[in-house]
Chain A
């Protein structure tokens, strides 16, 4: 579904070039859920941004559903295959657009018909009743906003969802609801996920395999059983897992 080979992403012009991603390669099969973990600045979100065309200074090979992509331009078909959900539901929804407008605009852009019925279906799928249809973002809680953002991503009926820290701005009880929703959607629609998170427990819960990133490089790719057993091959991965388990009193 998604092949990333020898991806380099940089920012700035010589002589001050910052390499955010160096020679990253990973492959995600159809229907799989793949995690990208690492500390802030390790380049995990930048990879998602390069895939979606939000960054154009990259080299290497990215293939989505068998189709190679280049530079910054993406075809209409690409956006129908790939959609993204961002971290902060307070920032990713237009404050003066109602839920109805957010969703109908997306549906129109995708050239969908029968928009009225589709909006009701989308809202039902993300667990919001049609009563939410004419509300504005400030009338919604953080969890409800993230549901709207997920509905917007689903509007295009994508096959690959890129999830950039989808629950890290939410309380843990709301996080549980959103993670359950994402798991249900993947099962029902056979979606493929690439999920960026700094929370290893969330990745363990949601993903089949994951890549550990450090300073722009993929340190190690492991399956989730290795993560749960805390037995990765690389020392940095082991340290990261140990640190995320919390604080051991001296």
Chain B
């Protein structure tokens, strides 16, 4: 097996509070290859914080520690900001949940993509412009020129998310971290956005970390799934095996979902066990399955 794109060992994120230290992420270990890796958990499980910690986006007083975070063999844990900036965007990109809050409202879409691209690539304005139009076309926008000249408020949510993806992929990163990229979108648009990401990952051989609360979606979209609970990975599964999950938390989450095809009288309610916080982790292998 080739070396992983990203190797994370014992990642921890702590926030000091008045009532002691809050541990948002408590020792996460995984490897990412050229694959779609899903990270699933409920709110507060630390899944978003994991993504932010990898990119060095945890703000003080939050503290990130780890045995190591290696990007293709190069340690990137707590790099100085100027070095991190060279990695962020160019080698690891991130797509956030809501395009409304991630795009600059007073810049045209085209200008924003060009700016993002020229930060990382030595390109003339004309080259950057062409790249931006190509990227917009790559995310299936039918009239790239019109979208290039429009402002974020003039486009729909699904279009906005495609623009974000276009912007993030313009520098050709090795890894894309997508934090709930489709949660703010309607189901029909969701399918399109996923298909675009799917194709880009396959064509470019990127590694994708797909953070989501939607178990079923992750099982269908990803290759491998990490299930997080209270800041730890409690189970790692091949996505196709999700429905054979062994951890009671994973099983409980799956059971608590209403189903479209079969009727149940009452939904089973998840009973949380105190032991899940610290019990031994099932299927601890960090690499591929």
Binding site for B on A (CB under 8 A): 39-40, 142, 171-173, 175-177, 179-180, 183, 198, 200-202, 204-206, 227-228, 230, 239-241, 243-250
Q: Is the interface of B mostly helix, strand, loop or mixed?
A: loop
23 A-B residue pairs with Cβ-Cβ distance under 8 Å, sorted by A, are A171-B43, A171-B213, A172-B215, A173-B269, A173-B270, A176-B267, A179-B258, A198-B186, A204-B258, A204-B260, A205-B263, A227-B260, A230-B260, A230-B261, A240-B187, A240-B188, A243-B190, A243-B191, A244-B260, A246-B216, A246-B220, A247-B198, A249-B220
* A224: min CB distance to chain B, Å: 8
Whether B263 pairs with A171 at a CB distance below 8 angstroms is no
Binding site for A on B (CB under 8 A): 42-43, 157, 186-188, 190-191, 194-195, 198, 213, 215-217, 220-221, 252-253, 256-264, 266-270
B-side contacts of A250, CB under 8 Å: 195, 198
Closest to B194 in A: A247
A-side contacts of B257, CB under 8 Å: 172, 176, 201
Q: A172-B42, A249-B220, A250-B198 are in contact. Are A201 and B260 (CB under 8 A)?
A: yes
Whether B260 pairs with A241 at a CB distance below 8 angstroms is yes
Q: How many A-B residue pairs have CB under 8 A?
A: 90
* B30: min CB distance to chain A, Å: 22
A246 to B198, CA, bound (A): 14
A227 to B260, CA, bound (A): 8
Whether B267 pairs with A179 at a CB distance below 8 angstroms is yes
A-side contacts of B258, CB under 8 Å: 176, 179, 201-202, 204-206
B-side contacts of A204, CB under 8 Å: 258-260, 263
A-B contacts besides A227-B260, A228-B260, 16 pairs, CB < 8 Å: A39-B186, A40-B186, A171-B42, A172-B253, A173-B252, A173-B253, A173-B256, A173-B270, A183-B266, A205-B259, A228-B262, A230-B260, A240-B188, A244-B187, A245-B260, A248-B220
A245 to B188, CA, bound (A): 10
Whether A180 pairs with B187 at a CB distance below 8 angstroms is no
Whether A249 pairs with B198 at a CB distance below 8 angstroms is yes
B-side contacts of A179, CB under 8 Å: 258, 267
A-side contacts of B269, CB under 8 Å: 173, 176-177, 180
Whether A205 pairs with B194 at a CB distance below 8 angstroms is no
Whether A198 pairs with B267 at a CB distance below 8 angstroms is no
Closest to B185 in A: A40
Whether B213 pairs with A172 at a CB distance below 8 angstroms is yes
B-side contacts of A227, CB under 8 Å: 260
A-side contacts of B253, CB under 8 Å: 172-173
A250 to B249, CA, bound (A): 30
